Amino acid sequence: MSRHRLTLETTPPAAGTAFSLTGDEAWHAVAVKRVQKGDTVELLDGRGTVATATVTASDKRKRDALLDLRIESVRQEPPTSPRVELWSAVPKADRAAHMIDQLAQAGAALWRPLVASRSVTDADHKAERLQRIATEASKQCGRAWHLAIDPPVSVADAAAWSASHKPPAGAMLVADADGLPPSALPRADHLVVLVGPEGGFTDAELITLRAAGAASVRLGPHVLRTETAAVAAGVAMLCR
Protein backbone atom coordinates (compact mmCIF):
# COMPACT_ATOMS: atom_id res chain seq x y z
CA MET A 1 0.00 0.00 0.00
CA SER A 2 1.37 3.42 -0.94
CA ARG A 3 2.24 5.85 1.82
CA HIS A 4 -0.09 8.85 2.18
CA ARG A 5 1.49 12.25 1.56
CA LEU A 6 0.61 15.56 3.17
CA THR A 7 1.56 19.04 2.00
CA LEU A 8 2.70 21.51 4.64
CA GLU A 9 2.79 25.28 4.32
CA THR A 10 5.86 25.40 6.57
CA THR A 11 9.02 23.29 6.83
CA PRO A 12 8.51 20.07 8.84
CA PRO A 13 10.04 20.14 12.34
CA ALA A 14 13.11 18.12 13.31
CA ALA A 15 13.14 14.36 13.84
CA GLY A 16 11.76 13.32 17.24
CA THR A 17 9.35 16.26 17.38
CA ALA A 18 5.63 15.87 18.12
CA PHE A 19 3.54 17.71 15.56
CA SER A 20 -0.21 18.33 15.12
CA LEU A 21 -1.91 19.01 11.81
CA THR A 22 -5.39 20.45 11.21
CA GLY A 23 -7.23 21.92 8.23
CA ASP A 24 -7.86 20.48 4.77
CA GLU A 25 -4.81 18.21 4.70
CA ALA A 26 -5.72 16.62 8.03
CA TRP A 27 -9.37 16.24 6.97
CA HIS A 28 -8.44 14.54 3.71
CA ALA A 29 -6.03 12.19 5.50
CA VAL A 30 -8.46 11.21 8.26
CA ALA A 31 -11.87 11.38 6.56
CA VAL A 32 -10.99 10.34 3.00
CA LYS A 33 -7.82 8.25 3.22
CA ARG A 34 -8.74 6.77 6.63
CA VAL A 35 -5.27 7.41 8.05
CA GLN A 36 -5.17 6.20 11.65
CA LYS A 37 -2.90 5.67 14.64
CA GLY A 38 0.23 3.69 13.76
CA ASP A 39 0.23 4.61 10.07
CA THR A 40 3.28 6.19 8.44
CA VAL A 41 2.86 9.35 6.34
CA GLU A 42 5.16 11.56 4.31
CA LEU A 43 5.24 15.33 4.75
CA LEU A 44 6.26 17.62 1.88
CA ASP A 45 6.78 21.37 2.06
CA GLY A 46 7.20 21.71 -1.73
CA ARG A 47 10.63 23.29 -1.29
CA GLY A 48 12.73 20.15 -1.08
CA THR A 49 12.12 19.03 2.51
CA VAL A 50 10.65 15.54 2.96
CA ALA A 51 9.78 14.14 6.40
CA THR A 52 8.54 10.71 7.45
CA ALA A 53 6.14 10.68 10.39
CA THR A 54 4.14 8.19 12.44
CA VAL A 55 0.51 8.94 13.28
CA THR A 56 0.09 8.92 17.07
CA ALA A 57 -3.60 9.94 17.10
CA SER A 58 -6.35 10.99 14.72
CA ASP A 59 -9.66 12.69 15.40
CA LYS A 60 -12.38 13.43 12.86
CA ARG A 61 -14.64 16.27 13.86
CA LYS A 62 -17.53 17.98 12.16
CA ARG A 63 -15.97 19.63 9.09
CA ASP A 64 -12.56 19.40 10.71
CA ALA A 65 -9.93 16.87 11.74
CA LEU A 66 -6.85 16.59 13.91
CA LEU A 67 -3.81 14.50 13.13
CA ASP A 68 -1.09 14.05 15.76
CA LEU A 69 2.28 13.01 14.36
CA ARG A 70 5.77 12.11 15.52
CA ILE A 71 8.51 13.08 13.09
CA GLU A 72 10.79 10.11 12.46
CA SER A 73 13.20 11.51 9.86
CA VAL A 74 13.78 14.61 7.75
CA ARG A 75 15.79 14.93 4.55
CA GLN A 76 16.44 17.58 1.92
CA GLU A 77 16.12 16.62 -1.73
CA PRO A 78 17.93 18.60 -4.47
CA PRO A 79 15.85 20.11 -7.28
CA THR A 80 15.48 18.10 -10.48
CA SER A 81 18.29 18.77 -12.95
CA PRO A 82 18.24 20.30 -15.46
CA ARG A 83 15.76 22.93 -14.37
CA VAL A 84 13.06 23.00 -17.05
CA GLU A 85 10.55 25.83 -17.25
CA LEU A 86 7.59 26.03 -19.63
CA TRP A 87 6.38 29.46 -20.67
CA SER A 88 3.28 28.89 -22.77
CA ALA A 89 0.14 30.51 -24.05
CA VAL A 90 -2.87 29.63 -21.89
CA PRO A 91 -4.97 26.85 -23.45
CA LYS A 92 -8.68 27.35 -23.88
CA ALA A 93 -11.37 26.14 -21.46
CA ASP A 94 -10.25 23.53 -18.91
CA ARG A 95 -7.28 22.31 -20.92
CA ALA A 96 -5.01 24.55 -18.84
CA ALA A 97 -5.84 22.51 -15.73
CA HIS A 98 -4.93 19.25 -17.47
CA MET A 99 -1.68 20.79 -18.71
CA ILE A 100 -0.64 21.90 -15.22
CA ASP A 101 -1.47 18.49 -13.76
CA GLN A 102 0.66 16.76 -16.38
CA LEU A 103 3.55 19.23 -16.16
CA ALA A 104 3.73 18.50 -12.43
CA GLN A 105 3.87 14.77 -13.13
CA ALA A 106 6.47 15.22 -15.87
CA GLY A 107 8.86 17.08 -13.56
CA ALA A 108 8.84 20.64 -14.92
CA ALA A 109 10.05 23.16 -12.36
CA LEU A 110 7.84 26.09 -13.32
CA TRP A 111 5.08 27.25 -15.66
CA ARG A 112 4.44 30.85 -16.74
CA PRO A 113 1.64 32.19 -18.94
CA LEU A 114 3.15 33.62 -22.11
CA VAL A 115 1.34 36.55 -23.71
CA ALA A 116 1.81 36.52 -27.48
CA SER A 117 0.13 38.40 -30.33
CA ARG A 118 -2.28 35.54 -31.03
CA SER A 119 -3.05 34.66 -27.41
CA VAL A 120 -6.79 34.44 -26.74
CA THR A 121 -7.01 33.39 -23.08
CA ASP A 122 -6.01 35.35 -19.97
CA ALA A 123 -4.52 33.38 -17.06
CA ASP A 124 -5.01 36.00 -14.34
CA HIS A 125 -8.41 34.73 -13.22
CA LYS A 126 -7.15 31.12 -13.26
CA ALA A 127 -3.89 31.57 -11.38
CA GLU A 128 -5.11 30.60 -7.91
CA ARG A 129 -6.93 27.50 -9.16
CA LEU A 130 -3.98 26.43 -11.29
CA GLN A 131 -1.63 26.75 -8.32
CA ARG A 132 -3.92 24.49 -6.27
CA ILE A 133 -3.88 21.93 -9.09
CA ALA A 134 -0.09 22.15 -9.32
CA THR A 135 0.30 21.60 -5.57
CA GLU A 136 -2.10 18.65 -5.49
CA ALA A 137 -0.53 16.99 -8.53
CA SER A 138 2.96 17.51 -7.10
CA LYS A 139 1.87 15.88 -3.83
CA GLN A 140 0.23 12.93 -5.60
CA CYS A 141 3.36 12.09 -7.59
CA GLY A 142 5.71 12.59 -4.64
CA ARG A 143 7.65 15.63 -5.80
CA ALA A 144 9.89 17.14 -3.15
CA TRP A 145 9.82 20.41 -5.11
CA HIS A 146 6.35 21.43 -6.26
CA LEU A 147 5.65 22.80 -9.71
CA ALA A 148 5.65 26.59 -9.33
CA ILE A 149 3.45 29.03 -11.24
CA ASP A 150 4.78 32.52 -11.87
CA PRO A 151 3.15 35.69 -13.25
CA PRO A 152 2.64 36.19 -17.01
CA VAL A 153 5.47 37.27 -19.30
CA SER A 154 5.52 38.78 -22.78
CA VAL A 155 7.49 37.68 -25.83
CA ALA A 156 9.71 40.73 -25.25
CA ASP A 157 10.39 39.52 -21.69
CA ALA A 158 11.30 36.10 -23.06
CA ALA A 159 13.69 37.62 -25.59
CA ALA A 160 15.39 39.61 -22.82
CA TRP A 161 15.81 36.41 -20.77
CA SER A 162 17.28 34.59 -23.76
CA ALA A 163 19.74 37.37 -24.50
CA SER A 164 21.12 37.21 -20.95
CA HIS A 165 21.41 33.39 -20.67
CA LYS A 166 23.76 31.23 -22.71
CA PRO A 167 24.61 27.48 -22.53
CA PRO A 168 25.70 25.73 -20.43
CA ALA A 169 24.24 28.01 -17.72
CA GLY A 170 20.92 28.58 -19.47
CA ALA A 171 19.17 28.36 -22.82
CA MET A 172 15.82 29.28 -24.34
CA LEU A 173 14.04 27.05 -26.84
CA VAL A 174 10.99 27.75 -28.98
CA ALA A 175 8.62 24.93 -29.88
CA ASP A 176 8.51 25.01 -33.69
CA ALA A 177 7.67 22.37 -36.30
CA ASP A 178 10.69 23.55 -38.33
CA GLY A 179 13.12 23.27 -35.42
CA LEU A 180 15.81 20.74 -34.58
CA PRO A 181 15.10 17.56 -32.59
CA PRO A 182 15.85 17.84 -28.85
CA SER A 183 18.92 15.62 -29.15
CA ALA A 184 20.57 18.10 -31.53
CA LEU A 185 20.25 21.11 -29.23
CA PRO A 186 22.84 22.34 -26.71
CA ARG A 187 22.52 21.16 -23.12
CA ALA A 188 22.11 23.62 -20.28
CA ASP A 189 21.49 23.58 -16.54
CA HIS A 190 18.46 25.85 -16.93
CA LEU A 191 16.12 25.48 -19.90
CA VAL A 192 13.12 27.64 -20.76
CA VAL A 193 10.83 26.34 -23.50
CA LEU A 194 8.36 28.70 -25.15
CA VAL A 195 5.09 27.32 -26.51
CA GLY A 196 2.92 29.64 -28.54
CA PRO A 197 -0.87 29.91 -28.88
CA GLU A 198 -2.93 27.75 -31.24
CA GLY A 199 -2.20 30.12 -34.12
CA GLY A 200 1.51 29.99 -33.41
CA PHE A 201 3.98 32.83 -33.00
CA THR A 202 3.97 35.59 -35.58
CA ASP A 203 6.94 35.93 -37.93
CA ALA A 204 7.95 39.10 -36.10
CA GLU A 205 7.92 37.30 -32.74
CA LEU A 206 10.05 34.46 -34.09
CA ILE A 207 12.55 36.94 -35.55
CA THR A 208 12.77 38.72 -32.18
CA LEU A 209 13.33 35.47 -30.27
CA ARG A 210 15.91 34.12 -32.70
CA ALA A 211 17.79 37.39 -32.68
CA ALA A 212 18.00 37.04 -28.89
CA GLY A 213 19.60 33.60 -29.24
CA ALA A 214 16.58 31.32 -28.78
CA ALA A 215 16.81 28.04 -30.70
CA SER A 216 13.85 26.21 -32.26
CA VAL A 217 12.97 22.70 -31.12
CA ARG A 218 10.79 20.17 -32.95
CA LEU A 219 8.64 18.04 -30.62
CA GLY A 220 7.31 15.50 -33.08
CA PRO A 221 6.04 14.86 -36.61
CA HIS A 222 2.63 16.49 -36.08
CA VAL A 223 1.17 19.83 -35.09
CA LEU A 224 0.48 19.77 -31.34
CA ARG A 225 -2.02 21.67 -29.25
CA THR A 226 -0.50 24.15 -26.82
CA GLU A 227 -1.01 21.98 -23.73
CA THR A 228 0.30 18.86 -25.49
CA ALA A 229 3.37 20.67 -26.76
CA ALA A 230 4.14 22.02 -23.29
CA VAL A 231 4.03 18.57 -21.68
CA ALA A 232 5.95 16.98 -24.56
CA ALA A 233 8.63 19.66 -24.25
CA GLY A 234 8.97 19.11 -20.51
CA VAL A 235 9.42 15.37 -20.93
CA ALA A 236 11.81 15.74 -23.86
CA MET A 237 14.08 18.19 -22.06
CA LEU A 238 14.21 16.17 -18.85
CA CYS A 239 14.88 12.86 -20.61
CA ARG A 240 17.70 13.90 -22.95
Same domain, 72 and 117: no
Instruction: Please give the pLDDT value at position 125.
Output: 61
Q: Say yes or no: 114 and 190 in one domain.
A: yes
CATH number of the domain residue 207 falls in: 3.40.1280.10
How much is the pLDDT for 99? 97
Final residue before a domain boundary, out of 76, 97, 123? 76
Q: Give helix 203-211 / helix 155-164 axis angle, nearest 10°.
A: 20
Mean local confidence (pLDDT), 66-76: 97
Q: Is residue 5 over pLDDT 80? A: yes
Specify the CATH number for the domain of residue 55.
2.40.240.20
Same domain, 109 and 126: yes
96 and 71 in a single domain? The answer is: no
What is the band of 127 on the pLDDT scale with cuts at 50, 70, 90?
confident
Taking the C-alpha atoms of residue 203 and residue 115, their distance in angstroms, rounded to an integer, is 15
Distances (CA, A) of 235 to 39, 162, 232: 34, 21, 5
pLDDT of residue 83: 98
Q: How confident is the model at residue 14 (pLDDT cuts 50, 70, 90)?
A: very high
Mean pLDDT along residues 34-38:
94
Q: What pTM did the predictor assign?
A: 0.92
Query: Above 60 in pLDDT, residue 211?
Result: yes
Domain count of the fold of the chain: 2
Q: Within 10 A of 181 (CB to CB), how many other CB atoms are there? A: 12
Instruction: Please tell me whether residues 95 and 127 are part of one structural domain.
Output: yes
Domain end position, chosen among 76, 104, 124: 76
Domain boundary residue, one of 27, 56, 76:
76
CA distance 184 to 219: 12
Is 60 in the same domain as 140? Answer: no
Q: Are residues 46 and 93 in the same domain?
A: no
Range of the domain at 9: 4-76
Q: With contact defined as beta carbons under 8 Å apart, do 114 and 155 qualify?
A: yes
